[in-house]
């Protein structure tokens, strides 16, 4: 009717309306009534100069059933929703979020709380056991028989082409994890689809453990022969209540039997350069192509596109439409192009999109919530409730901030002075963000959505507009700023005598770096009030720290790297490890004390809806490999409690290797569970405990400029000390609080990963064209390689012990020894073990980015120099050649470097390039 009406009114203007619909009934009726109508794809074909429009159409099946391998029966059917819910209720199934291993996209795991109240990890190995679940999906898992639990380590996949890695199509493929099929027979032969090139037939080789028992330990958990849970006797599977901490059983494995919630999102991807379109075709004819996500944890996708030639060598976004059980891979469609692979601006956008980081400019609605005075905002005694006494005036105190160099979003400041009774008044003052960010406003909604500020190597993506984050809320020196103050009276032993909380106004006397504050402590000639305050804080912080350590708090570690960037181009010109000073610990101790004090206060007033942070105790089996590797060194790692672990870490010292203890703490960190935000009404008080900090309750209060969790906690604290705060039900709705906690956990995790990916991007830029030799330590043993940490750069990578072009019939130079958890040579004269010192070459693939899959995912590669392992280590002749080349190489402005520089300095000229 609408089209008829438009036609009658627009006819005189010679405009013919057209009904565009994919509804077959509407289309038929329109044509019968004489209305011009067509399907969407027919309409878009008119715009032949824009083939991407047709590519954007989703929900188009591209499966050619005739091309499927007749020996493969597809993935198992999912259990029905009723069956899944019944299984979870009866504790026959467990649920969790599938997390895929970074080095092996065929290995996933979930963490779930079992009937014993402990959190356990369940491995899900192989595409068939993953059963069409992908990274981030919420899944229901059935635990496999103990005979199929894993007792051998993971394998790292050298390359990314799943067609060359036997999985769903070969029954015994993952029993041995070593068979490399003839991909010419296993590749899809869909009409207009992909044909593997010659290079694709030599790819993605996984080394197997020659020990048959190790192979069988990994078996079953990844084979197609595992019985369908819907038709199997329950006795064949393990009830979650029977999963304990017996390390001799191995790591529990399971299989996905249902999807509770999909986590599909747009994925940044590229065309597989090892495949070419089959046969000649018109440039605008659709072709089915393989697409590889930048995130190696995501399976290969199949899309139909008319612009394969254009997309070659580019980054672009795709979306998953479906994953039928008959299809080996998910099916999707093209969304939009991003730019050329290797372009620094493109790669940065990719990492932001891949880690779900909101980075668009703040909208006009958000900016409208900023103070109308803008940067000219000043303190108003009446408006800001100082005259009424609701906000305490603390501007006379000698308050200072201590932060990293260049910090502009200053969340916290401190003060301390001795009281007449010999005790100390100590104050932690936190930016009063909630004075400017009111609940329910556009700015609040946006901050809740972003949840955190994200720090990359070359930029910061703020949670709040810059006017607030780096100006009006930032506790800069020599200006009046609104704060939320936590003020204690501490005795000489740093025991809390009293604590009060106030909305306040402060006037910081100094904005110091950690180094500047440390110099004040160390310089006896400095006796000004700020320096005295810092010395008092340092004295008390040491006592607080000792008490925490005595209670079992852990001092863990992670390699941190900082790049020194060229001012104009922001290209990395140097890399250095972050050095920690005594003043780092000073600030940390009082931030922890404030967080704990605030947590107790808000839980007292909001027992069902307080936002807290918990850190579950890690299962004992998480430490097995670490404990095993320490035995030959005469070191015992006690893991019965956080205190026992902390004490054994303190004792774990090798006089011959000063770095050893730090390395052990890095590896211990990786055995930990992940800390999480939660709503107090969703867990028992016994589950509140923060294992790493050895405290029974904890929250985040001290960084509201960059964490939305702290904004929520500020509101809870304000309501706890002021009944007239007037937040209403926003602070007592347990369901909404839980939903926001889920978002906080997701964004926090993604921000951490985005930061690491940014370091990786700049690492690749820094090492491009360089050949660097460095000592390192073995940090992980895999079936076909080992992880190496380079302390001087804080960089970690994998040294593979099997070439991707190797003949699988030839024994590997190093094979996994299950009993020793080492890689050993066939003659047992060479071994690689955890903590072992090695020497490696660091290089970045310098081929054109479109040369192969590895180039498209340009990674830092490590090659072994010492110990000398024939077939794995760089030969002496090649090493001499590399050294000579490195010594004589002169910096050259390659075309790619020129483009990187141009993109950074003159983004408006990129199109001309």
Q: Would you give the DSSP letter of residue 452?
A: B
Q: Give the whole-angstrom CA distance, residue 519 versus residue 394.
A: 26
Q: Taking a C-beta distance cutoff of 8 angstroms, is the pair 105, 297 a contact?
A: yes
Are 472 and 377 contacting, i.e. CB atoms less than 8 angstroms apart?
yes
CB 776, CB 791: distance < 8 Å: yes
Q: What distance in Å separates the CA atoms of residue 382 and residue 378, rounded to the nearest whole number?
A: 12
Q: DSSP secondary structure string, 113-136?
A: E-TTS-EEEEEEESHHHHTT--TT
Pairing mode, if any, of strands 795-800 and 785-790? antiparallel
* Residue whose entry in the numeric block shows the structure tokens 């302390």: 791
In angstroms, the CA 126 to CA 495 distance is: 54
Name residues whose C-beta falls within 8 Å of residue 623's C-beta, 6 or more positions apart in sequence. Answer: 637, 639, 668, 671
Give the Cβ contact number of residue 857 at 10 Å.
Answer: 18
Largest separation between any pair of C-alpha atoms in the chain? 96
SS3 5: helix
What tokens appear for 128 in the block? Answer: 């068939």
| CA pair distance 582, 275, nearest whole angstrom | 55
Q: Quick one: pLDDT at residue 164?
A: 52
Q: State CA 164 to chain mean position distance.
A: 27
Tokens for 541, please give them. Answer: 């912080």
Q: Which two tokens stand for residue 513?
A: 């770096």
| Nearest-angstrom CA–CA distance, 651 and 661 | 9
Q: Are 852 and 273 in contact (CB under 8 A)?
A: yes
CA–CA dist 644, 635 (Å, integer): 13
pLDDT tens digits, one per residue of 82-133: 999 999 998 899 999 999 988 788 999 998 877 777 778 899 999 999 999 9
Specify the pLDDT at position 245: 59
> Residue 276 has what pLDDT?
53
Query: DSSP letters along 717-777, please?
Result: HHHHH-TT---GGGGT-HHHHHHHHHHHHHHHHHHHHHHHHHHHHHHHHHHTT--EEEEEE
- Alpha-carbon span 859 to 160, nearest angstrom: 13
Distance of CA 614 to the CA centre of its chain: 19
Pairing mode, strands 301-305 and 331-340 = parallel
Which among 371, 363, 434, 109 has a CA at the least distance from the CA of 253? 109
Report helix, strand or coil for 605: helix
How far CA 687 is from CA of 113, 219, 601, 613, in Å, comes to 11, 35, 18, 10
DSSP-assigned letter for residue 911: G
CB neighbours (10 Å) of residue 374?
Answer: 10
d(CA 83, CA 86): 5
What single-letter DSSP state applies at residue 392? E
CA 72 to CA 75: how far, in whole Å? 9
- HEC-encoded secondary structure of 557-584: CCCCEEEEECCCCCCEEEEEECCCCHHH
How many Cα atoms within 13 Å fall on the side-chain side of residue 460? 15
CB 141 within 8 A of CB 123: no
- Sequence-distant (≥ 6) Cβ neighbours of residue 61 within 8 angstroms: 322, 324, 331
Q: How far apart are CA 766 and CA 565, in angstroms?
A: 10
Whose structure tokens read 């940067």?
375
- Distance (Å, whole) CA 700 – CA 741: 12
Instruction: Tell me which residue of 109, 113, 114 sits closest to 133, measured CA to CA.
Output: 109
Please report the pLDDT score of residue 903 as a whole number: 32
Residue 484 host element (H or E): strand 480-490
Element containing residue 321 per DSSP (H, E): strand 314-322
Q: Is the peptide bond before 867 cis (omega within 30 degrees of 0)?
A: yes
Answer yes or no: are the C-beta atoms of 205 and 808 closer than 8 Å.
yes
* Segments of the chain with pLDDT less than 70: 1, 11, 13, 58-71, 154-236, 241-242, 244-248, 275-284, 558-580, 803-811, 845-858, 887-913
- In 3D space, the residue among 765, 902, 570 whose CA is nearest the CA of residue 913 turns out to be 902
Calpha distance 21→27 (Å, rounded): 6
Name the CA radius of gyration of the chain, rounded: 30
Residues constituting the chain: 913
């Amino acid at each position: 009717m609408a089209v008829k009406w438009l036609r009658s009114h627009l006819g005189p203007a010679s405009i013919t309306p057209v009904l565009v619909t994919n509804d077959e009934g509407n289309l038929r009726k329109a044509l019968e009534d004489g209305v011009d109508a067509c399907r969407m794809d027919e309409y878009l074909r008119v715009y032949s100069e824009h083939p991407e429009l047709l590519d954007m159409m989703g929900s188009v099946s591209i499966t050619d059933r005739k091309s499927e391998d007749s020996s493969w029966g597809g993935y198992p059917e999912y259990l029905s929703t009723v069956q899944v819910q019944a299984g979870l209720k009866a504790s026959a199934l467990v649920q969790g979020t599938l997390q895929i291993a970074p080095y092996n996209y065929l290995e996933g795991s979930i963490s779930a709380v079992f009937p014993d109240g402990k959190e356990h990890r369940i491995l899900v190995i192989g595409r068939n056991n993953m059963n069409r679940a992908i990274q981030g999906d919420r899944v229901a898992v059935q635990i496999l028989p103990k005979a199929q639990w894993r007792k051998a380590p993971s394998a790292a996949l050298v390359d990314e082409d799943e067609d060359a890695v036997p999985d769903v199509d070969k029954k015994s493929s993952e029993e041995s994890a070593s068979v490399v099929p003839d991909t010419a027979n296993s590749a899809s032969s869909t009409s207009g689809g992909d044909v593997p090139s010659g290079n694709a037939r030599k790819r993605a080789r996984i080394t197997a453990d020659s020990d048959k028992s190790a192979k069988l330990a990994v078996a079953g958990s990844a084979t197609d022969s595992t019985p369908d849970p819907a038709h199997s006797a329950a006795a064949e599977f393990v009830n979650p209540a029977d999963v304990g901490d017996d390390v001799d059983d191995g790591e529990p494995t399971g299989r996905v039997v249902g999807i509770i919630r999909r986590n599909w999102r747009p994925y940044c991807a590229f065309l597989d350069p090892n495949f070419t379109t089959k046969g000649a075709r018109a440039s605008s004819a659709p072709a089915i192509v393989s697409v590889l996500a930048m995130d190696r944890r995501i399976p290969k996708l199949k899309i139909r596109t008319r612009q394969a030639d254009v997309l070659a060598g580019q980054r672009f976004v795709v979306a998953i439409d479906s994953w039928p059980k008959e299809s080996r891979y998910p099916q999707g469609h093209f969304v939009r192009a991003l730019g050329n692979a290797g372009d620094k601006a493109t790669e940065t956008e990719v990492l932001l999109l891949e880690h779900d980081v909101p980075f668009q400019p703040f909208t006009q609605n958000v900016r409208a919530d900023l103070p109308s005075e803008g940067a000219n905002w000043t303190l108003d005694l009446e408006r800001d409730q100082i005259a009424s006494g609701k906000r305490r005036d603390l501007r006379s105190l000698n308050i200072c901030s201590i932060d990293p160099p260049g910090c502009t979003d200053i969340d916290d400041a401190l003060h301390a002075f001795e009281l007449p009774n010999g005790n100390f008044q100590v104050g932690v003052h936190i930016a009063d963000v909630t004075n400017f960010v009111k609940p329910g406003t556009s700015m609040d909604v946006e901050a809740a959505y972003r949840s955190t500020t994200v720090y990359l190597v070359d930029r910061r993506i703020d949670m709040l507009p810059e006017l607030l984050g780096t100006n009006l809320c930032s506790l800069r020196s020599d200006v009046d700023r609104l704060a939320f103050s936590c003020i204690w009276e501490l005795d000489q032993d740093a025991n809390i005598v009293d604590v009060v909380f106030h909305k306040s106004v402060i006037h910081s006397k100094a904005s110091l770096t950690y180094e500047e504050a440390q110099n004040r402590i160390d310089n006896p000639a400095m006796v000004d009030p700020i320096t005295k305050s810092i010395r008092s804080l340092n004295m008390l912080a040491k006592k607080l720290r000792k008490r925490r350590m005595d209670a079992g708090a852990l001092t863990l570690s992670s390699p941190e790297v900082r790049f020194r960037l060229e001012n104009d181009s922001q290209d990395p010109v140097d890399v250095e490890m972050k050095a920690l000073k005594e003043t780092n610990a000073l600030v940390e101790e009082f931030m922890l004390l404030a967080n704990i004090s605030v947590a107790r206060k808000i839980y007292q007033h909001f027992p069902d809806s307080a936002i807290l942070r918990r850190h579950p105790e890690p299962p004992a089996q998480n430490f097995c490999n670490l404990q095993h590797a320490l035995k030959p060194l005469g070191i015992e790692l006690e893991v019965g409690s956080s205190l026992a672990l902390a004490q054994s870490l303190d004792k774990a010292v090798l006089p011959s290797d000063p770095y050893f203890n730090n390395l052990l703490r890095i590896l211990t960190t990786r055995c930990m569970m992940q800390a999480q935000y939660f709503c107090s009404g969703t867990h028992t008080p016994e589950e509140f405990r923060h294992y790493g900090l050895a405290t029974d309750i904890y929250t985040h209060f001290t960084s509201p400029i960059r964490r939305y969790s702290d904004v929520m906690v500020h509101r809870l604290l304000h309501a706890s000390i002021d009944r007239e705060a007037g937040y209403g039900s926003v602070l007592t709705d347990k369901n909404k609080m839980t939903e926001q906690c889920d978002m906080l956990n997701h964004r926090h995790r993604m921000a951490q990963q985005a930061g690491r990916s940014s370091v990786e991007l700049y690492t690749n830029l820094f090492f491009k064209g360089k050949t660097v030799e460095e000592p390192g330590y073995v940090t992980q043993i895999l079936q076909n390689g080992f992880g190496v940490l380079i302390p001087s750069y804080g960089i970690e990578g994998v040294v593979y012990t099997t070439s991707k072009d190797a003949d699988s019939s030839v024994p590997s130079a190093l094979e996994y020894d299950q009993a020793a958890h080492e890689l050993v040579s066939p003659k047992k004269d060479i071994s690689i073990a955890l903590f072992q010192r090695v020497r490696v070459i660091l290089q970045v693939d310098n081929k054109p980015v479109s040369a192969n899959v590895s180039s498209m995912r340009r990674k830092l590669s490590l090659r072994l120099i010492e110990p000398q392992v024939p077939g794995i280590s760089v030969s002496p002749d090649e090493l001499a050649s590399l050294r000579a080349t490195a010594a004589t190489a002169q910096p050259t402005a390659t075309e790619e470097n020129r483009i990187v520089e141009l993109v950074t300095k003159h983004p408006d000229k990129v199109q001309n390039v």
